[in-house]
Amino acid sequence: MDIVGRGYGPVSGLVAPGRVAAYVAATGDDADRWRDQAPPSLAGALLFEVAPMFLADPDVVPHTTTVVHADQTFSWHRPIPIGAAYEVEGSVARVRERSGTFWVTFESTVTMAGSVAIESTSTFLLSDAALAAPADEEAEPTLTARAESGFSASRLDLVSYAAASGDVNPIHWDHDSAVAAGLPGVIVHGLLTNAWIIRHVIAATEGGHPLAALKTRFRSPIRPAQQVDISGDPESVSVECQGVVAATASATLT
C-alpha cells in the first residue's frame, strides 16, 4: 500500500453533553465525576472520527478482511471540556508488510481552541485474509451475559460501545466476521479495554485532567462475558483474562 503521508479529515465537532454521557455509560465510567469534563478515554472516540476514513480508503479496503488494533498511545495536553469545539485530523505515518499482513502506523491530532489537546498513535494490523493461526470457533454467550466481578462486557455492551465510540468494526459484534478474521468469535474493542485501563490508573486521582500519557499493547483478544482483571501501578499495568495477559500499559499521570 502506497499510502504513507496520506491525510484524513479535518473533522469538526462539539464535545456534546449527551455524547459524553453515552460514552461514560458505555465504558462503565463514573457519571458523577465527568459532569464538566469528558473522561480521558473519550480520546478513543475522537480518534474514530477519522480512523473510519482511513479504513474506507479505496487503497486500504482490499486489505480489511481482518483489522486488529495492536498498539495505542495517547497524549493529553489539556482537559476535554464538555461543550468544547474540536477538530480532528489523521494521517498514515508508516506502513510495513510482513507475510501478507500490513502494519500501519496511524497518527491523529485533536485541536481545541487553537492548540493541540490530544495526540494519538495507533498501530493497526490489516490483512485480506484471516489471522496467521486461526482460533477454534466458539459459541457466543447470551446477549447480556457479563462476568460478576472485575471488568467485563456483554455482547450488548459491545454494541453500545460501538455506537458511542464510532468503532463499528464487525469483529466486535458479528460472529461470522470475527470467525472470518481467524478469531473464535466476537471480541471486546481494544479501546474499550483501554478505557478500563484508564479507569484503573486514575481511580485514586481527582480533577478533569488526571492523565498525561498512556501507551497500551494489546496482546490477546478478550471475549464478551469474560472476567478481566487489571492490576499494577500506573507505570506498569497488566490486563489479565482467563489466565492470559491480554494487554499491558504504562501511564503518566499529570
- Determine the pLDDT at residue 84: 98
198 HSE (CA, 13 A, CB side): 31
Domains annotated on the chain, with CATH: 7-253 (3.10.129.10)
- Cell numbers at 177, concatenated: 466476521
Q: How far apart are CA 230 and CA 240, in angstroms?
A: 6
- Determine the pLDDT at residue 130: 85
Write down the H helix ranges in 4-48.
17-27, 42-47
Least Cα distance to 40 among 161, 159, 163, 196 occurs for 196
Residues 6+ apart with CB under 8 A from 254: 76, 209, 210, 211, 212
Q: How far apart are CA 171 and CA 178, in angstroms?
A: 4
- Determine the pLDDT at residue 104: 98
- Determine the pLDDT at residue 215: 99
Residues 6+ apart with CB under 8 A from 243: none
Cα 234–chain centre separation: 18
Q: How far apart are CA 161 and CA 26, in angstroms?
A: 5
Q: How far apart are CA 6 and CA 85, in angstroms?
A: 25
- Determine the pLDDT at residue 133: 77
Q: What is the pLDDT along the chain (254 residues), one digit of tens a residue?
A: 899 999 999 999 999 999 999 999 999 999 999 999 999 999 999 999 999 999 999 999 999 989 999 999 999 999 999 999 999 999 999 999 988 899 999 999 999 999 999 999 999 999 998 876 789 999 999 999 999 999 999 999 999 999 999 999 999 999 999 999 999 999 999 999 999 999 999 999 999 999 999 999 999 999 999 999 999 999 999 999 999 999 999 999 99
Beta bridge partner(s), residue 39: none
